[in-house]
Amino acid sequence: MTGQVRHPGARGRLGRLVRVAGRRPSATVGAAVLFGFGLLALLASPLAGASADAQVGPVFAPPSGAHLLGLDDQGADVLKQLVVGTRVSILVATAATLVASVIGGAVGLLAGYLGGWVERALMALTDYFILVPALPLMIVVAQVWGPDLWHSVLIIGMLLWTPMARVTRAEVKVVRTRGYVLRAVAMGASRRRIIWKHVLPQVRGLLAANAVLIIAAAVFAEAALAFLGVGDPETVSWGAMIQHASERGAISQDAWWAVIPPGVCIALVVVACNLVSLAFDVTARHRHGRGAMPPGRSVEVEYVHG
Amino acid sequence: MLAVRYALVRLLGAVAVIWGATSFNFLLFRLAPGDAANVAIVANASPELQRQLRAQFGLDDPLWLQYLKYLGQTARGNLGVSFSNQEPVSHILRAAILHTLPLALAGVVLALLLALISGLVSAWWHGRLADHMFRGSALVLYALPAQWLGILMIFAFSSWLPSGGMSDPFLLDTSWWAHATDVARHLVLPAVTLALTTYGAFTVVLRSSMISALSEEYMVTALAKGLPTRVVVRRHALRNALLPTVNLIGLTLGTMVGGVILIESVFSWPGIGQAVYSAVSRRDYPVLQGAFLLLTLSVISSSLVVDVVCRALDPRTRRA
Amino acid sequence: MAEPLISVRDVNIWVPSIHQRGRTLIVRHLELDIFPGERLGLVGESGCGKSTSLLGILGLLPGGSRISGSIRFQGRELLTQGLPGLASLRGAGVALVPQSAMSAMNPVLTVRRQIIEALPPGERRDRGQARRRCMELLDQVALPADVQRRYPHELSGGMRQRVGIAMALASRPRLLLADEATTALDTVVQARVMELLDRLCAELGLAVIFSTHDLALAANFCSTIAVMYAGSIVERVPARRLAAAAEHPYTRMLIAAVPEPGVDRGAVVSIPGTPPRLGELGAGCSFAPRCPNATAVCQRDEPVLQQVGAAMAACHHASSQEPSNV
């Protein structure tokens, strides 16, 4: 194979990113928030680590100068728990997203490229997982399998891949008809090589955009599983914090500081993910119809004596 | 003819999914670590129960026979017996799902109302401040974990509205009306929580389809007839925009189930979500699996109904 | 002479720009007089402002637009009352004949519903009366009564156009605004519909503003032709004198471009260049960049409409034109 096949977008990706950031400041904010949480997750151990679980005062003590977010149901510093919980929640969400992306991406690639009965079978499988309500399924599997962090990761990952599969398949079907792919096929390249070298780089961006949304869903799912008691009882995550607080009487003792912070973190991550994914969204501007709508803005009328 | 064929195809698909879910339940139970009977053995299970379970699950039969028996049982509505109170699972769940229905309905109706308001406002003034505010708040609320919002609601409103259960056990007035109002009061917080955490998705779709509908040519034609703007928007734009939104309900039922489970757990509402919650804490596998099956069945049948209704309502798909 | 039915003077219309903030001037110093029963053909290429002019008369402009000037209908000045002034014409004296394209009618409502809602409020109240009127209108446009139960996507283009005409006639208007009314139809169907329109307008004494890019079609149907270019009218000439009396170079080129059956010109005659983008108009005549006779004065000063023989043309060189041999 002589000559280089120039994939559009292979160069200037950084430049494009900067332009996108400028066009949509909300996405930059979102990305910054996610980056901040990621950083916090990485630095959690040195920051709070060892002493996070230690009881440093009475149960459900309100916020004070020493403990900005008060103490939780075990007398531990809520802020420290929050930092540690960040690590677990982000870790679980990212890992689950990775699993979901691999499964969803693979299903989408194979279904889109191979077509025929493979596509039909894979799409039937996808439809099955879309129709079956996710949370009950996760609960059942988690209950039977046993509460464990990695079990949670795998369970969440194995149920959140469906949107990725659908979108990838649609895109692959389009890419499959592009010039460089057809040329590679004509030159007798193996299917595996074509998928890996030509198709995959094209759908990478789409995978990334979707992955961001899956992170949001994964954070939600982790919190739900923890709340219902099928998460890992040993580890502290945002979801677990909410569960502990509610289970051990935060409501009756009006200890809002034990409940609010982890929820705020979850909401921030989810909103940030949505903002970032909007930047990838290339929706056509709604074209102006032939007149009249919407009159949210009024029409100025001026009489000029003619 | 085309519509009937479509409905049949979808029905077949639904049956396939139910079968898949049932088989999955079967496999899961068999694949659980340890012998199925051991998993089933709860600390205080009587020998009576153990014998019943062995017989029910036919644990001494070959696997394929167990499978067929299991399918037959499930098809007849026998979902097993609860570990915790020896009652038939189907009885427990039937009562539970009847309690969930008013909550789910109230939540969906409220969510649609909220979506209607925020969707219309956002579409009418799209690009302006009102759009950003309404759409933004819808999306932020959508990002809140349902259980967390439920707890917050309790914190905020516990002095005015009941925060647990479906009715007041100490209610003195036993008239039907008093009971109904009591249940209604208990319904407020959980239904509002459900609505707030789900209406975001509807808002986005309604806004988008409204903006499309408003910029269609037939809007100009309709306005040119001299009809008041309000009438034109309602009859021409809104009617067309509602279709994709109602369709969305069918698609998001699975997600709503998750919300219902979490909310019922927080508010101790005696519905199927609460049944799942307590089944988990008591390791009551038959109830858990029965609930999963029942929820799957509900979601599928509801989305099927919504899909068929949507197709029937849209004249474009009625004839070839 | 009777008073004009509608009188438009020095109307400018600005429409919000699509790709940037602010507005673009789409229609420039529009001036029209339509007398009862008179038919005006508004001819021009796509994007020259014909649609906006028509819709502007009814106030059907996108939010954020601006219209200035004077529009009098049956002697009453409308622009002094703001948007409601223009809106008062809708379904009350002036009616829009929509295109036959499917997008011009609501796909989820029956034909009957869409015709009935076009009736004046008084005739809509009684359902029986409304239905009878609907069937009457369908009969007028030569459509069978069972069409009323159908949906737009079940009708052919020609049928949809007739329904559009029925909707317009429902409010018993005095003036029809036909915006590219038969454009999407094929020639045979178009001819039939134009025949129908011709007969109905004559029977009912309707005035029409007929906008189209098809000069020959307009010349056949209308009594006066107004040629529009880059947002303003560059020529106004009686239809039957079109070929002989047209003075503006653009009009002449349009006439030359009309294919004549049986005449082999050897090549497709077209007008070189493309229409200017509205909002990017410079000084001087808007047609100058494409005009073979353009001189320095054309680049500098925008010409105004002046009487040249039987026509009114906006061209600096109109009166000095040689008899055309294009």
Greater pLDDT, C280 or C237? C237
Please indicate whether, in this complex, the C-beta atoms of B214 and A294 are within 8 angstroms of each other. Answer: yes
Mean pLDDT taken over chain C: 86
Q: What is the rounded distance in angstroms from the CA atom of residue B213 to the CA atom of residue B2?
A: 27
Tell if the CB–CB gap between A292 and C80 is shorter than 8 Å.
Answer: no
Q: What is the ipTM of this complex?
A: 0.87
- Average pLDDT for A30-50: 78
Which residue among A292, A298, A303 places its CB closest to the CB of C80? A303
C83: closest chain A residue by CA: A301
Domain presence at residue B120: yes
Inter-chain contact B296–A132, Cβ cutoff 8 Å?
yes
Q: Report residue C59 as tokens.
A: 């106030």
Band of pLDDT at residue A286, cut at 50, 70 and 90: very low
Indicate the pLDDT class of residue C301, thresholds 50, 70 and 90. Answer: confident
Nearest to A301 among C10, C62, C82 (CB): C82
Query: For residue A23, what pLDDT is reported?
Result: 64
Rounded to whole angstroms, how far apart are CA atoms B278 and A241? 20
Residues of chain B in contact with residue A141, where contact means CB-CB under 8 angstroms, are: 28
* Partner residues linked to C307 by β-bridges: C312
pLDDT band at C262 (very low <50, low <70, confident <90, very high): low
Structural domains counted in chain B:
1
Share of chain A above pLDDT 90, in %: 18
**Among candidates C87, A39, A246, C181, which has minimal Cα distance to B145?**
A246
Domain that holds residue B252: 98-284
B60 inside domain: no
- Whether B197 is covered by a domain: the verdict is yes
pLDDT, greater one: C198 or B174: C198
8 Å CB contact of B224 and C90: yes
Predicted local distance difference test score (pLDDT) of residue B318: 60
Residues of A in contact with B39 (CB under 8 A): 144
A contact test, residue of B29, B147, B152, B302 with most A CBs within 10 A: B147
Start-to-end CA distance of chain C, whole Å, equals: 37
pLDDT-derived band of residue A297, with 50, 70 and 90 as boundaries? low
Contact A229 B258 (CB under 8 A): no
Pairing of strands C39-43, C23-34: unpaired
Higher pLDDT, B31 or C166: C166
A263-284: pLDDT as tens digits: 999 999 999 998 888 777 654 4
Does B130 have pLDDT greater than 80? yes
Interface test with C, best of B220, B238, B319 (most C CBs within 10 A): B220
Distance CA C273, CA C287 (A): 10
Nearest-Cα distance to chain C for A284, in Å, is 12
Residue with the bigger pLDDT between B7 and C226: it is C226
Flag if B316 and C91 touch (Cβ within 8 Å): no
In this prediction, residue A293 carries a pLDDT of 54
Give the number of other CB atoms < 10 A from CB of residue B231. Answer: 13
Tell me whether B159 touches chain A (CB under 8 Å). no
Residue C293 Cα, gap to closest chain A Cα (Å)? 32
Q: What DSSP letter does each residue of A170-192 carry, written as one string?
A: HHHHHHTTSHHHHHHHHTT--HH
Percentage of chain C exceeding pLDDT 90: 39
- CA-to-CA distance for C266 and C260, rounded, in angstroms? 12
> If pLDDT is split at 50, 70 and 90, which confidence band does C24 have?
confident
Residues of chain A with C-beta less than 8 angstroms from the C-beta of B281 = 229
C-alpha C136 chain-centroid distance:
27
E strand or H helix at C236, and its extent? strand C232-238
- Answer whether A300 sits within 8 Å of C60, measured CB to CB: no
Say if the Cβ atoms of B316 and C108 lie within 8 Å: yes
Give the model confidence (pLDDT) of B273-287 as tens digits. Answer: 999 998 888 888 888
Determine whether the interchain pair C68/A301 forms a contact, defined as Cβ–Cβ distance below 8 Å: yes
Q: What is the CA radius of gyration of chain B?
A: 24
Torsion of CA A170, A171, A176, A177, to 10 degrees: 90
CATH of the domain at B130: 1.10.3720.10
**C63/A293 touch (CB, cutoff 8 Å), yes or no:** yes
Comparison of pLDDT for A281 and A41, the residue scoring more: A41
CB contact, 8 Å: A1 with chain C?
Answer: no
Tell me which DSSP letter residue C290 carries. G
> Residue C40: in which H helix or E strand, if any?
strand C39-43
* Position B88 in a domain: no
Residues B218, C154: C-beta atoms closer than 8 Å: no
CB pairs under 8 A between A and C: 71
Lowest-confidence segment of A135-144, B139-148, B157-166 by average pLDDT: B157-166
The answer to whether the Cβ–Cβ distance between B211 and A286 falls below 8 Å is yes
Q: Which of A199-213, B213-227, B247-261, C92-106 has the lowest mean pLDDT?
A: A199-213
Q: Is residue B262 part of a domain?
A: yes
Q: Distance, in angstroms, between B27 CA and closest chain A CA?
A: 11
Structure tokens at C96: 């829009």
What's the rounded Cα separation, in Å, for the pair C110 and C148? 7
All residues of chain C having their beta carbon less than 8 Å from the beta carbon of residue A296 are 63
Question: Is B13 inside any structural domain?
Answer: no
3-state secondary structure at position C92: coil
Of A289, A294, A302, the CB nearest to C68: A302
Q: Which residue has the higher pLDDT, C325 or B183?
A: B183
Residue B213 in any domain: the answer is yes
DSSP letter string, C112-175: HHHHHTTS-HHHHSSHHHHHHHHHHHHHHTT--GGGGGS-GGGS-HHHHHHHHHHHHHTT--SE
Q: C108 at the B interface (CB within 8 A)?
A: yes
A287 touches chain C (CB under 8 A): yes
Instruction: Say yes or no to pLDDT of C129 above 50.
Output: yes
Q: Do C91 and B217 touch (CB under 8 A)?
A: no
pLDDT value at position C1? 54
Domain assignment present for B310: no
Interface size, chain B vs chain C, as Cβ–Cβ contacts under 8 Å: 67
Q: Which residue of A has its CA nearest to B15?
A: A128
Name the one residue in this structure whose structure tokens are 């977008």. Answer: A9
Mean pLDDT confidence for C257-269: 67
At residue C324, the pLDDT reads 45
